[in-house]
Structure 1
Amino acid sequence: MSKNPRLNQPVPDASDAADPGGDEDKTQLVSPVIRAMRLLRFIAEGGSTANLSEVGRRIDVNRVTVMRLLATLEHEGMVERLPQGGHQAGFALLKLGAKVLAGKDLTVFARRVLAALSESLQLSAYLGVLDGGDVLYLLRDMPQTSLVSNIQVGSRVPAHLTTPGRMLIAGLPEDTLRERLGEEPLTTVTGQSPATYARLGDILAADRERGCAWSFSAFEPGIDSCAAPVFDASGATVAAISVAGPDIRFERAPDLRERVEREVKRAARDLSGLLGYAAGQRHPH
């Protein structure tokens, strides 16, 4: 049962809205908005929407109104439907809250984004940040499948060797790259690894153009990976989201690569939005 006493308060109607003895002029209140806020609060506090009649009883509205409110809130992105039934707070609501919060924690927001991405694609999902010349893997979310990648949380890898690392350095000028990565020849692990800044520059230019980075067994044999950048409120690249999985899955499903790229980019946009980034915002160099 909800611990919030306001969930069980009756919604003001025309008869009680004009209460001259109240602390505020209730004639200014809009009942549908109050009902929507009660429903949002109910969902945010963990209430289940699987039984609409029960939800209606808890927030004191009828079942049909609950259904219409859910449809409206889902349309606006304030709630989203769960695969197992019911609803949870949507990205639009989280983004709205994020703009209000004084401090924004990258990893708190990223956990949910990675979980959704991993569940959808059934691939391992990662969050990486730049630390000197390395990509540092901060988070990982794995589907219920066998481990196929050797990258663990806390792993450090030279940034130019992996897809999230490439996205993190894609916007850096060459002098900064040299300062972070060192002199040529660059570290290599496979025949696809760039050993020169000329080759690395070509790869990063293609990554910037595409908006994501791909690797086909370029770091770990038999593992394909895709990554996209995450921006903060200032437009700076602060992290990268990536997924990795066995190349045989991509070979068996020709359309998987397109879907992965689309969903990784969307996940990166969602996380950027939660950090206060506005789409179309210019990035600082």
Structure 2
Amino acid sequence: MGAYEEEPDRDTDYRVPALQRGLNIVQMFNASERTLSTNEIADRLGVSVSAIYRIVFTLTEMGYLRKLGKNSYELGPQVLCDGYSYLASRDLVDIAMPHLNALRDRTSLSCHLSIREQTDSLYIYRAFAAQRLSVNIPIGTRIPCHCTAMGRMLLSGLSPTQLDALYQHVRLDDYPPPAPKTLPELHQLLDRDRERGWVLHRSDYSTAIACAVYNHRGEVAAAINLSGPEAVMDSPVAREHYRASLDLCAQAISRELGARLPA
């Protein structure tokens, strides 16, 4: 009879105790407990200090813990590095898509997602509302940032110095109103946009409202909008309803990107 391997018993415990302890140690740290001693760690695990010595040493060597004193530790930079790498690896469109589709379904208005490339707003996703007079801007469209609601929200993430550097060789007076004609006028618009937190823009019988989306660094990573015919969005009550819905959507996407927003 040939050799064979027995099927593992379903009740077999495949856990790795050392790995489990290591992860438990990392999870002990939080906003209220930023530092812990080896004695405190051992007490919580219900073991001796000698039993966790090699685990703590390994976590420190790998950057998941940082030694502060003789027997005191805090979380190391590798924890943040790994977390941010994971967040950055998630595609922006994949994260935003279900939120924008749901917003489209709730409002019956078209939604778009854009990012900034130099002075252009690049449209990278649309949730198209299939109804008469819907606003439908194709993916891949580029529109100068200072001419659109989403573009202005993208620019609102820049400092005055960064904005000056970006537009130092760009003419603004070639575009029709209500686009700003000068850089100082653009600065003034963006100051108001930052304070308000959203932009409303009217053009060609349509209206768009835009909000910014933030990443884990607190930077403006993208912008989203709700856009529809002027007749639908003409009422101040309707516009406020749409703006509030858009803001909640932007916050939900931002949180999935790792942004820390007020509760």
For 2:210, the equivalent position in structure 1 comes to 227
Structure 1 residue 189, shift from structure 2 partner: 3.6
Task: Indicate the SS of the match to 2:228.
Answer: strand
Structure 1 residue 144, shift from structure 2 partner: 2.2
Q: Please tell me the residue identity of whatever aligns with 2:226.
A: V
Structure-2 change in CA distance of 1:143 and 1:179 (3 Å): same
Cα distance in 2 between the residues matched to 1:99 and 1:176: 25
Q: Provide the aligned C-alpha RMSD in A.
A: 2.6
For 1:115, the equivalent position in structure 2 comes to 101
Structure 1 residue 173, shift from structure 2 partner: 2.5
Cα distance in 2 between the residues matched to 1:151 and 1:190: 19
Structure 1 residue 224, shift from structure 2 partner: 0.6
- Listed as ranges, the matches of 1:203-222 within 5 Å are 203-217=189-203, 221-222=204-205
For 2:156, the equivalent position in structure 1 comes to 170
Structure-2 change in CA distance of 1:182 and 1:223 (3 Å): farther
Cα distance in 2 between the residues matched to 1:107 and 1:264: 17
Cα deviation code 1:103-141 (max 9, x no counterpart): 322110111011011111111100000001101000000
The question of 1:270 aligning with 2:252 is answered yes
- Listed as ranges, the matches of 1:252-267 within 5 Å are 253-267=235-249
Note if contact 1:184-1:196 (Cα within 8 Å) is conserved in structure 2: no
For 2:90, the equivalent position in structure 1 comes to 104
- Listed as ranges, the matches of 1:12-161 within 5 Å are 23=13, 101=86, 103-149=89-135, 151-161=137-147
Cα distance in 2 between the residues matched to 1:202 and 1:162: 15
Q: Which structure 2 residue ranges, 5 or more long, are not aligned?
A: 1-10, 15-82
Structure 1 residue 201, shift from structure 2 partner: 1.3
Q: Which structure 1 residue ranges, 5 or more long, are not aligned?
A: 1-20, 25-97
Q: Please tell me the residue identity of whatever aligns with 2:163.
A: L
Structure 1 residue 23, shift from structure 2 partner: 4.2
Normalising by the residue count of structure 2, what TM-score does the alignment of the two structures yield?
A: 0.64
Task: Indicate the SS of the match to 1:215.
Answer: strand
Structure-2 change in CA distance of 1:140 and 1:150 (3 Å): closer
Q: Please tell me the residue identity of whatever aligns with 2:233.
A: F
* Number of equivalences: 185
Cα distance in 2 between the residues matched to 1:196 and 1:185: 8
Note if contact 1:184-1:197 (Cα within 8 Å) is conserved in structure 2: no
For 1:195, the equivalent position in structure 2 comes to 181
Structure-2 change in CA distance of 1:187 and 1:121 (3 Å): farther
Structure-2 change in CA distance of 1:189 and 1:120 (3 Å): farther
Cα distance in 2 between the residues matched to 1:233 and 1:184: 30
Larger radius of gyration between Structure 1 and Structure 2:
2
Structure 1 residue 186, shift from structure 2 partner: 0.5
Pick one of 150, 167, 172 that aligns with 1:186: 172
